[in-house]
Amino acid sequence: MSKRNPRNLLIILGDQLDHESPIFENADPKRDIAWMAEVAEETEHVWCHQLRVAFFFSAMRHFAEELRAAGWEVRYRELPEDAGKDNYPSFEKLLTADLQELKPDGVRVVQPGDLRVEKQLLAACDSAKCGLSIMEDAHFYCGIEEFATFAEGRKELVMETFYRQMRRKHKVLMQGSKPAGGEWNFDKENRETFGKKGPSSLPAMPVYEPDAISNKVLKLVAKRFAKHPGSLEHFVLPVTRAHALEFLEDFLTHRLPLFGKYEDAMWGGEAFLYHSRISALLNVKLLNPRECVEMAVARYEEGRAPINSVEGFVRQILGWREFIRGVYWLKMPGYLELNALDAQGDVPDFFWDGKTDMACARDSMRHVIDHGYSHHIQRLMVLGQYAMLSGVHPRKFHEWHMAMYLDAVDWVSLPNTLGMSQYGDGGIVGTKPYCASGKYIQRMGNFCAGCKFDPGIAIGENACPFTALYWDFLDRHREKFTGNMRMGFQIKNLERKSDEELAEIRETAGRWRAK
């Protein structure tokens, strides 16, 4: 432990593992100390997936070692294996104690990705009577104030409008004042399925066997968090900057060319297909969004990847990711409590263990349990849609997502879950709820062929839960959705059903909602 009083204590949070972070600007290893901490509170305020705990702790420990190798003194608070949550300090108390001991002249931190953590930082510095400087996060294309300026005076926040503005400003996929390829958005070309034969010759994901640092973390997690959900069997993740870059390069070479075409497709037993799986690496900042975008655009310009794949990838990062962060900071703290559909249900048991007869949900949950991951259609149109249709409270769904996904940080999880997935914000993020019957799931994958439920039936024991719940959901919220132009077609279809049929649908759906 250091005995010197630093000029600045540089607080590096678990999702800020960036050697180019603004926290290091004008910093001096001889005068400043880096501070990092593993805190039980961060793994237990939601019932955190074992793999998620291991990923964060391993990446943090590797980052700390890299800082030390670069000449930095790092005060790293390592979580002991045998410390119970009742006798290990919270983040706030741990930081307060170290501030009182070290007595730095000042404290610096990059804008946290969680308002809850920001409040704890402020409270700790206030208790220790240390000045806190919160620096803007240069990792993102769009700053918090810049997004607020974009939103000012707008009745609706439309991601596509924001995305085009970002494309123009940063000159991404632009040919002069026109979008590359003649279109801003190639989403209509990104909805193909694998047909009856399924995908062939899928590229393997890179595998990174745990080193000594990771093995020590795995031992900790296996002992201390043994009762937490998920599995550690598939810890073959990149946890360093060098491996993250290799992982990105592998995606660009082997999966990007077909990513766009099959972006929305699903297939039983295949967790990754042509997806990048880099969101966790981006969200802990082992990768920078600019390098991801620039490298993908270079593939298009070199003729190595088609425009629909590259534009779809760019839209996820430069468009959606930046938009979601802007919404979070614009609407918090009140956003967390929004519940436009007045849903009050709990997250179903199978969201923790995957035990369900629904083939699509079972498969999606297997990926979550094994990898802390499922791609966006399985998140949105299988697990997310089931939660919304069955009436799960949107905040509880967000908390589940925070617990179970490697890439979940509050700023990105909350608007994506409560807003886009659950329509809990009533249309701030998405102008309509993302809902469909089991027929959509049947069309986009192969789950229904081996499932006991029929996606074409909404009534009775063999009815697909998604189909029954879909019609019940539209019926329950008919008045609210009637005024939504984007829901007009679905409401007209609902109105074609007789009172007798709707009564039977309600009965079938009610059994599933009761579960």
Continuous segment of H or E residues that includes residue 110: strand 106-110
In this model, does residue 86 exceed pLDDT 60? Answer: no
pLDDT in tens, 180-191: 999 999 999 999
What does the pLDDT read at residue 46? 84
Residue 88 has pLDDT above 80, yes or no: no
pLDDT at 3 over 70: no
Q: Which of 11, 20, 224, 228 is nearest to 117 (CA)?
A: 11
206 secondary structure, DSSP code: P
- Residue 19's pLDDT is 96
Task: Please check the confidence at residue 5 and state whether its pLDDT lies above 90.
Answer: no
Give 451 or 43, the one with higher predicted confidence.
451
Q: Cα 82–83–85 angle (5° rounding)?
A: 135
What distances in angstroms separate CA 430 from CA 146, 320, 374, 416, 419, one per listed residue? Answer: 21, 11, 21, 9, 7
Cα distances (Å, whole numbers) of residue 467 to 196, 481, 505? 22, 18, 9
- What is the tens place of the pLDDT at every residue in 149-193? 999 999 999 999 999 999 999 999 999 999 999 999 999 999 999
CA-based R_g, the chain, Å: 24
Confidence band of 87 (pLDDT split at 50, 70, 90):
low
Instruction: Provide the pLDDT for residue 82.
Output: 77
pLDDT at 324: 98
Q: For the residues 267-279, what does the mean pLDDT come to? A: 97
DSSP string for 345-377: BPPPTHHHH---S-HHHHHHHHHHHHHS---HH
Reported as a single tens digit per residue, the pLDDT across 331-353 is 999 999 999 999 999 999 999 99
- Whether 197 has a pLDDT exceeding 90, the answer reads yes
pTM of the model: 0.95
pLDDT recorded at residue 313: 98
- In contact, 179 and 167? CB cutoff 8 Å: yes
How would DSSP label each residue in 423-483?
A: -TTSSSS-SS-----HHHHHHHSSGGGG-SSBTT--SSTTB-HHHHHHHHHHHHTHHHHHT
Q: Is the pLDDT of residue 378 over 80?
A: yes
Average pLDDT over residues 313-331: 98
**pLDDT band for position 2 (50/70/90)?**
low
Is residue 227 exposed (0-12), middle (13-18) or buried (19+ Cβ within 10 Å)?
exposed
Using one digit for the tens of pLDDT, what is the confidence trace for 211-234?
Answer: 999 999 999 999 999 999 999 999
At 473 the pLDDT is: 98
Is the predicted pLDDT of residue 83 greater than 80, yes or no?
Answer: no
- Mean pLDDT, residues 274-279 taken together: 98
pLDDT at 84 over 60: no
pLDDT score for 45:
81
CA distance 12 to 101: 18
pLDDT in tens, 104-136: 999 999 999 999 999 999 999 999 999 999 999
More confident residue, 398 or 45: 398
User: Does the pLDDT at position 89 exceed 60?
Assistant: yes
Mean pLDDT calculated for residue range 443-458: 96
E strand or H helix that includes residue 210: none
Residues 6 and 105: beta-carbon distance below 8 Å: yes
Q: Decide if 251 contacts 276 (C-beta within 8 A).
A: yes
Residue 318 has pLDDT above 60, yes or no: yes
Tokens linked to 138: 């240069």
Q: Is the pLDDT of residue 293 over 80?
A: yes
Six-digit token string for 347: 């997250």
- Kindly report the average pLDDT of the chain as a whole number: 95
Percentage of the chain lying above the pLDDT 90 cut: 94
- Average pLDDT estimate for 305-324: 98
Q: What is the pLDDT of residues 24-64, one digit of tens each?
A: 999 999 999 999 999 988 888 888 999 999 999 999 999 99
- 86-109 per-residue burial string, b: 16 or more CB within 10 A, e: under 16: eebbbbbbbbbebbeebebeebbb
